[in-house]
Amino acid sequence: TLPSHANFLLAELGQDRVAAADAFFKARGLILRRVDSYQLPGFIRITIGDEHGCRRVADAMEAFLEQSR
């Protein structure tokens, strides 16, 4: 883990899980961005605003990772 002062998360999920993560997050009203165009295939970017948004993203990521094991 690296310290960050940005308003987004950059997470490596693997190329095989990016599309599934996109659908999973959209179904929960959360939008992520693929970053293939930055030569980061298999990564996603999720913008986070306030503490409530951060909690929603963390909960969704935990549920997605649990489901996709």
- Taking each helix axis as running N to C, give the angle between helix 51-67 and helix 18-27, from 0 to 180 degrees, rounded to the nearest 10: 130
Range list of H helices, 1-69:
18-27, 51-67
Listed in order, strand segments (DSSP E) in 1-69 are 8-12, 33-34, 43-47
Per-residue pLDDT of the chain (69 residues; tens, 9 = 90+): 567 677 888 999 999 999 999 999 999 999 999 999 999 999 999 988 888 988 999 999 999 999 987
Q: Please give the model's pTM, rounded to 2 decimal places.
A: 0.82
Tokens of 17: 């899980």
Count the neighbouring beta carbons within 10 Å of the beta carbon of residue 64.
Answer: 17
Task: Give CA 1 to chain center in angstroms.
Answer: 15
